């Protein structure tokens, strides 16, 4: 019994130290730090994932990790969001993402392409490639659906919104129909710029993403079981 207690103490100590010293949740560290995690979920995305303008622990990945934990899913959620990133940027950093050894990736991208009026076909192609790359490494992908601002024009928004269900269908992905359901367009849930959610906004985003994440976990588990 004794050695185990010691190890547990040491682990707790490490985690605490890590938490204090770096102000960096243990989530970003190597899996070895948290042996109890069943797997790693990497939240890939832009400012909507990074949590632009809110504290790190208020952004959706941190909230999602807490929610999963509370429900008994001991999964680590890494926030790999980069503000301002387009789908092309996401495609370029696939190798970096794979270094984090994800079991599941929640892919939220394309919003910045949309804001810059980039051809939806480009976004579609990028997402196809990202997903193919991830799936080749056995990663389960949850694709966050996105819509575009009405002011971009109907022609643009219609072709934009189609990207996500089409990609999900083509690659058998779990699709979150719209990442910002109940948040987009509501001034009280967004920062003054009107497009980035507040901490409360992220609470709703977390609720939206949660069931699909659980679905991905279940899928991953069943694959593992059938694999072993």
Partner 1 sequence: MVNAHFILRQITGARRQSALFVLCVALSMITLVSLGSFNRSVQRSLWRDARALHAADIIVRAHAQLPPPLETEIAALTRNRAITTARYYDFYTVIQKTTGEGSLLSDLKAVEPGYPFYGQVLLASGRPFHEVLTTGSLIAERSFLDRLGVRTGDRVRIGNATLTVKDVVVQEPDRPVNFFALGPRVFVPAADLPAIGLLGKGSRAEYVTLAKLTDQAKLAPVVEALRSAAGESRVRVETYRDADSRVKKFFDNLLFFLDLSGIFTLLLAGFGIQSTLFALLKEQEKTIAVMKAVGAKSRYIIGHFLAVTLLLGLTGTVAGLAASFALQRYLPRLFSGLIPAQVDYAVSGWAVAEGVAIGFIVVLLFTALPLYRLKEVKPRIILGKEEQEGFWTRSTWVIGGTGTLFFFAMVLLKIRDVTTGLYFVGAIVGLVFAAFVLASIILWGLKRLHPKNLALRQALKGLFRPRNASRPILVTLSAGFAVIFAITLVEQNLDASFIQSFPPGAPTVFFIDIQPAQKDDFAKTLGTKGEFFPIIRATINAINGEPVDMAKQRQSRGDNLSREFNLTYRDYLLPDERITAGKALFRNDWQVPQVSVLDTVLKMHQMKVGDTLTFRVQGIPIEARISSIRTRNSSGFTPYFYFVFPPSVLADAPQTLFCAARIAKKEIAAVQNRIVQRFPNISVIDLTETAELFGRIMGKLSTIVRFFTSFSLLAGILIVVSSVFATRYARTQEAVYFTILGARARFVMAVFAVENLLLGVSSGVIALAISQVASLAICRKSLDMEYHPYLAQSLLLVLATTVLVMVVGMAATIPILRQKPVVFLREHAEE
Do residues 84 and 47 touch, judged by C-beta distance below 8 A?
yes
Site for partner 1 in 209-228 (CB under 8 A): none
**Which one, 136 or 152, has the nearer CB to partner 1?**
152
Closest CA to 196 of 56, 44, 48: 48
Using the Cα atoms of residue 86, residue 24, residue 104 and residue 204 in order, give the sign of their dihedral. Answer: negative
Does 83 bind partner 1 (CB under 8 A)? Our answer is yes
Does 100 bind partner 1 (CB under 8 A)? Our answer is yes
Which of 26, 38, 52, 203 touches partner 1 (CB under 8 A)? 52
Does 98 bind partner 1 (CB under 8 A)? Our answer is no
Does 22 bind partner 1 (CB under 8 A)? Our answer is yes
Which of 11, 14, 26, 115 touches partner 1 (CB under 8 A)? 115
Which of 31, 84, 138, 182 touches partner 1 (CB under 8 A)? 84
Does 189 bind partner 1 (CB under 8 A)? Our answer is no
Q: Does 188 qualify as catalytic in the annotation?
A: no
**Which one, 22 or 223, has the nearer CB to partner 1?**
22
Measured distance CA(202)–CA(13) in Å, rounded: 30
Which of 24, 218, 221, 224 touches partner 1 (CB under 8 A)? 24
Q: Give me 215's structure tokens.
A: 């679905």
Does 31 bind partner 1 (CB under 8 A)? Our answer is no
User: Of the listed 95, 188, 193, 228, which one is catalytic?
Assistant: 193
Closest CA to 75 of 10, 12, 31, 134: 31
- Output 53-59 pairs: Cβ under 8 A, ≥24 positions apart: 53/191, 53/193, 53/196, 53/198, 54/191, 54/196, 54/197, 54/198, 54/199, 54/202, 55/199, 56/25, 57/25, 58/199, 58/202, 59/202
Under DSSP, is residue 190 helix (H, G, I), strand (E, B) or coil? strand
Q: How far is the CB of 108 from partner 1 (least distance, A)?
A: 14
Site for partner 1 in 149-178 (CB under 8 A): 149-156
Measured distance CA(115)–CA(85) in Å, rounded: 11
Which residues are at the interface with partner 1 (CB under 8 A)?
Answer: 21-24, 28, 50, 52, 55, 78-89, 91-93, 96, 100, 113, 115-119, 121-122, 126, 147, 149-156, 184-185, 187, 192-195
Catalytic residues, which ones?
47, 193, 196
């Amino acid at each position: 019994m004794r050695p185990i207690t010691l190890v547990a103490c040491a682990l707790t100590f490490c985690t605490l130290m890590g938490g204090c010293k770096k102000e960096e949740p243990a989530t970003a560290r190597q899996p070895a730090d948290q042996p109890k995690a069943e797997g790693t979920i990497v939240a890939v995305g832009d400012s909507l994932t990074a949590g632009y303008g809110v504290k790190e622990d208020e952004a959706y990945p941190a909230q999602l990790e807490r929610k999963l934990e509370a429900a008994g899913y001991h999964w680590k959620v890494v926030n790999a969001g980069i503000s301002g990133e387009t789908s092309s940027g996401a495609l370029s950093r696939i190798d970096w993402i794979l270094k984090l050894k994800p079991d599941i990736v929640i892919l939220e991208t394309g919003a910045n392409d949309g804001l810059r009026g980039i051809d939806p076909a480009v976004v579609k192609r990028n997402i196809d490639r990202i997903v193919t790359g991830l799936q080749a490494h056995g990663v389960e992908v949850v694709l966050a659906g996105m819509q575009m601002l009405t002011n971009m024009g109907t022609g643009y928004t219609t072709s934009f919104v189609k990207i996500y269900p089409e990609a999900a269908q083509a690659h058998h992905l779990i699709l979150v129909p719209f990442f910002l359901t109940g948040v987009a367009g509501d001034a009280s849930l967004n920062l003054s710029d009107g497009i980035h959610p507040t901490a409360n906004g992220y609470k709703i985003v977390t609720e939206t993403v949660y069931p699909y994440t659980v679905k991905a976990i279940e899928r991953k588990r069943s694959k593992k079981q059938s694999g072993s």
